[in-house]
A and B are shown apart, each in its own frame.
Chain A
Amino acid sequence: NFMLTQPHSVSESPGKTVTISCTRSSGSIASNYVQWYQQRPGSSPTTVIYEDNQRPSGVPDRFSGSIDSSSNSASLTISGLKTEDEADYYCQSYDSSNQVFGGGTKLTVL
């Protein structure tokens, strides 16, 4: 089994851009799609990125995803930060037998 490692927390000011990383411990990051979920306090997770860089309908284009094979990592970038973006963000991927979540990153917008 592999692991996905995320920074515990990040913070940035409104209007700025923030990037959250997600590093795969073994196996290629490109071998299976990466998803990103947003979880606001007291709420269920929602999908903000699926299949590395696809946005579900209703998710603003301020949210974007990418993968970098050289660092074996995925990234979630949020531009034009709003206070409503303050939440926990989880990356997720899978292999033939398991689904794996990263430990989550708490985004503070201050």
Chain B
Amino acid sequence: EVQLVESGGGLVQPGRSLRLSCAASGFTFDDYAMHWVRQAPGKGLEWVSGISWNSGSIGYADSVKGRFTISRDNAKNSLYLQMNSLRAEDTALYYCAKAITGVLQDAFDIWGQGTMVTVSS
């Protein structure tokens, strides 16, 4: 079964850091690009960041550029998001999503259940 399981969310103070992880199973992880998409409470979907199959191409939303870093470990079938200088507006459910090919510019076909990040003092 194809599965994505996010972890690492929680309550964090403004200005602090958090690292999210996404464990993939049921498919050949290093064949596909991967993304982080977030959803603030009661709001719509917002793309956060994406990484190509070999980490050769990486993209970030303007809202997180310079603060968040995406990475992947193909040997561990895992995707990560290092979030620094967190702000209240980063509060959201963070989804890990698999692309349908290895490049960034493509559709998503599999989504995880999400991990909640709450930034508050």
Contact = CB atoms under 8 A, between A and B. Distances in A.
Interface of A: 1, 32-33, 35, 37, 39, 44-47, 50-51, 56, 88, 90, 92, 94-104
A96 B112 CA distance: 25
Contact of A94 (B44, B105, B112): B105
Contacts of B35: 99
A61 to B, nearest CB: 18
Contacts of A39: 45
Interface residues of B, number: 22
Interface of B: 35, 37, 44-47, 50, 59, 61-62, 95, 100, 104-109, 111-114
B59 A101 contact: no
Contact of A100 (B47, B95, B104, B108): B47
B105 A44 contact: no
Contacts of A90: 44-45
